[in-house]
Structure 1
Amino acid sequence: MSPRLRLHHLLLSILSALPTCPLDHSTPTSAAAAAAATASHHHVVTTLPGYDGELPFRLETGYVAVDEEEHGAELFYYFVESESGDPRRDPLLLWLTGGARCSVLSGVFFEVGPVRLALEHHRPYDAGELPRLRYHPHGWTKAASVLFVDSPVGAGWSFSRHPDGYLVGDVSASLQLKHFLAKHLLTDSDLGNRILVSRSLGYLVGNPVTGESIDFDSRVPYAHGVGIISDQLYETIMEHCQGEDYSNPKNAICRQALDRFNELLGESSGGHILYNYCIYDSDIDGSIQEKPKIPPFPPRECIGSVDEWLRCHNGDLPYSMDIKSNIKFHHNVTTKGYRALVYSGDHDAMIPFLGTQAWVRSLNFSVVDDWRAWHVDGQSAGFTITYMNNMTFATVKGGSHTVPEFEPERSLAMFKRWISNEPL
């Protein structure tokens, strides 16, 4: 999966600023609610292909118009109600998937959703057959209602009726998400009330990109520490690559050393160093992502949708990275009272925990709870440190670039404690 996780750029910007047909709603209480209701379409889903029987949880899908006057852009969402037995009191989590316009469906099926693909080693999930689904006992919907959104426009089932609607970037995509949330919460008074009465708002980011060089520069010391590269190669890079742009070094010795480094790192999956590159016999970064041109995405009768679903777009749709570094946003948001949990899988070589730990420290917040282990069932599940302004950093043992995918029990335990405002 692509390391270009811009998703928390969008969420930080929002915090800093603080097949479906229409479902009948009760009479709106305001003109704003009435306008929002006409621009959103919802459908309750009770069965899914590949899953035996009715779904044991409440799933709603739909579209919300976010740019109807200019381009006709709409964002698609999946809403899963909390399975705890008391959804009205449980928190509401907005989940955004990163990568190169990757569909949020990967978050549903591979990470924190209530169902997962029943993968079999002898039958890869892209073998052309209908995949089987199984219930996921460690989904985050055990503790919260989760709103999964395909963002930005062009991700998953989100679409624009005009090609210019796909010309988005960090800032415009965050504004569309803000528009989406305002409309969606207006049309669902229950969800809106959960936000308004919440005693604690905050955000989580997993193995996040910041836009700073530390994201990728930390790969070298990480790879050396876990035995992927030799002492000699590490020392050569440290000596000849000081001050160099690792993506385009001018020093010939540095360039040669980094080429060798990339060869060795490519011997395993960068997202999980214990796995081979092709985890499911599929080129996740290639064939299933690529599309040569912007699709027309004509609306279907009644709903408006897209012709073909792609897990990710690999550079075929334009995107402007307006925010070069988001570290200052983390500082601004947490000093305004928002709680933050930054977590890293310690087996991720794409965005190593070393770099993430370094930029969290650079915020210069005082330590409240010093570095220690955190536990699940009496065993160490990782390590954590908490700073002033409710900033927590944690590692997850055995975790990959997508921590909940490979460590579901530990990630759920971490999430439950954090949303309950308990120490890890």
Structure 2
Amino acid sequence: MKSSSPPPFCKICPSKALLFLLHVFTFSSTAYATEVELTTAAQNDLIDQLPGQPCPVNFTQYSGYVTVNATAGRALFYWLQEVQGGSTVSDSAPLVLWLNGGPGCSSVAYGASEELGAFRINSDGETLFLNEYAWNKVANILFLDSPAGVGFSYSNTSSDLYNFGDNNTAWDSYAFLLGWFERFPKYKYREFYIAGESYAGHYVPQLSQIVYEQNKGVKNPIINFKGFMVGNAVTDDYNDYIGLFEFWWNHGLISDETYQNLKLLCPMDSSEHPSKACNDAIDTAYNEQGNIDPYSIYTPTCKKTIGKRRQLRAGYRLMFGGYDPCTETYSTEYYNRPAVQKALHANVTSIPYSWQTCSDIVGVYWGDSPRSMLPIYREIIAAGLKIWVFSGDTDSVVPLTGTRYSIDALNLSTVTSWYAWYDGTGEVGGWSQVYKGLTLATVRGAGHEVPLHQPLSGLILFEHFLEDKPLPSNNKN
């Protein structure tokens, strides 16, 4: 549980110039290479100090924009949190791109600020505290707001916001990567992974496929792609729907009649563009569920108004387990502060709307949305690249049942049968099964945002993914 009062924080942190010198000259054996490889654009993106930031911190941060389409004026916002421990560690640790979904929701709002990022936001909306289980303990984490119109990312062509879909989002993200690696050449050829959750179950495989196919025939590709990881991921419309309705019924959230109607009316629909009959049945199901948080069915809801309830696949709502369930309101306040935007080098074009956790436009007008990612899974598996799929088991929006049905549809042979894995405290962290080409892991007691509800288990999961090691099956505390 978070403290009701903000913890102490430093009012004066080292200046940007001092941070840069520390970054360049810490550990003289790597100083020269780091100095040469840090471009002017990267230096300009170095974060001096975030308002309310606890300090000192033992890692470097950068944020800013990479233009992905100069003609349209589209630019995507990123936030890099380098691995903890200084430059010698960050110069060898892997790089992981994190994407949130929606479509239309911000990776800064969710991944960086609620889940796996280095900081969390206090209830005052002004100060930050360190995340004990931040994923930059073991890797360099690159958060990206995608597509344009999400978070601080923008387009000077307003019609873009009404015309995004899976395909142009994936290619814009690839253009971002190309530009970003030129800005940060020290990450070229570095071990690189793509990860994300929810509708990023589309973003992650699609971007992975582009990177993989663009790397074909290249002896030593700059983007040294090794694999991807997705959590509570939208994967295959048919299996997602079947698993969703089964989860609702098995957990006593809906009636027998509604369950039968959902199975009859929805499975052949697109989850992004369902028929009216399917939507009506889903509305009935939501009414029967009552005022619960569908993203975490056993935890309290926020009693404050935090915006309209979004449709099944059309976005996120906040969910918090033993945490404050209203944190989304704190991030909205924090990232709308001019001082915060200045520190992040964000909103440089004076975007004519407030920062939002999820866009009211992007996602509502979403275009192409393929029914299944399984063909991409098969391609990536055949290429010998790594895939891990994880699922918090109390999420009723993209539940474990749907994920299991989707993986079953791949018809993979089993390497290690279903087993309980442990979180190091003597408790079962979840269950796992290793297939030829894919690892499935569940996280016990976690909702849609696994690193939020079960942060220790989430970090253990991430570490084992990077090392491609089975999750611990021994009960040691």
Higher deviation after alignment, 344-353 or 311-320: 311-320
Tell me the alpha carbon deviations over residues 117-162 of structure 1, each in whole angstroms, 9 at most, x when there is no partner.
Answer: 124xxxxxxxxx5332101110100110011111111111111122
Aligned residues: 368
Q: Secondary structure at the match of 2:96?
A: strand
CA distance in 2, matches of 1:398, 1:302: 37
Q: Is 2:141 the counterpart of 1:146? A: yes
TM-score w.r.t. structure 1 length?
A: 0.77
- Mapping 1:197-216, distance limit 5 Å: 201-216=226-241
Pick one of 186, 189, 192 that aligns with 1:193.
189
- Check if 1:225 corresponds to 2:272: no
Structure 1 residue 245 corresponds to structure 2 residue 266? yes
Distance 1:302 1:198 in 2: 28
1:44 maps to: 46
User: 1:296 maps to what in 2?
Assistant: none
Paired residues for 1:274-353 under 5 Å = 274-278=298-302, 281-283=305-307, 285=309, 303-304=348-349, 306-307=351-352, 308-315=354-361, 318-353=365-400
Matched, 1:117 2:121: yes
Distance of 2:261 and 2:464 partners within structure 1: 44
Contact 1:64 1:75 in 2 (8 A): yes
Aligned equivalents of 2:467, 2:303: Cα separation in 1: 34
Q: Which residue of structure 1 aligns with residue 66 of structure 2?
A: 64
Q: Secondary structure at the match of 2:136?
A: helix
- Contact persistence 2:243–2:405 (CA under 8 A): no
Q: Which amino acid is the alignment partner of residue 453 of structure 2?
A: F
Question: Percent identity at matched positions?
Answer: 27
Can you list the C-alpha shifts for 1:158-213, whole angstroms capped at 9, x where unaligned? 11122244332211111111111112112222111314699871111110112513
Pick one of 294, 297, 307 that aligns with 1:273: 297
Judge conservation of contact 1:60–1:78 (CA < 8 Å) in 2. yes
> Partners of 1:222 and 1:248 in 2: how far apart?
21
Letter in 2 for 1:353: L
Q: Determine the structure 1 residue equivalent to 2:96.
A: 93
Query: Which amino acid in the other structure matches residue 45 of structure 1?
Result: I
SS at match of 1:193: coil
Q: Tell me which amino acid in the other structure corresponds to 1:112.
A: L
1: CA distance between counterparts of 2:441 and 2:308? 27
Q: With structure 2 as the length reference, what TM-score do the two structures score?
A: 0.69
Structure 1 residues 241 and 130: alpha-carbon distance in aligned structure 2, compared to 1, 3 A threshold: closer
Residue 361 (1) aligns with residue 356 (2): no
Partner secondary structure for residue 201 of structure 1: strand
Match of 2:457 in 1: 410
- Determine if contact 1:171/1:323 at 8 Å carries over to the other structure: no
**Greater helix content:** 2
Structure 1's 181 and 322: CA in aligned 2 closer, same or farther, altered over 3 A? same
- Listed as ranges, the gaps of 5+ residues in structure 2 are 1-15, 21-38, 192-220, 268-273, 311-316, 318-327, 330-344, 472-477
Q: Deviations over 1:268-320 (max 9, x none)?
A: 1000001244366523746999xxxxxxxxxx999445343111113456431
Counterpart position of 1:79: 80
Q: Are residues 118 and 242 of structure 1, via their aligned partners in 2, closer, same or farther at CA, if it must alter by over 3 Å?
A: closer
Match of 2:358, as an amino acid? C
How has the CA–CA distance of structure 1 residues 366 and 61 changed in structure 2, closer, same or farther, with 3 Å as cutoff?
same
Mean Cα displacement is larger for which, 407-416 or 264-273? 264-273
Q: 8 Å contact 2:84–2:138 — kept in the other structure?
A: yes
Aligned residues of 1:371 and 1:384 also touching (Cα < 8 A): yes
Letter in 2 for 1:399: A
Matched position secondary structure for 2:188: helix
Quick check: 1:46–1:54 contact (8 Å CA) kept in 2?
no
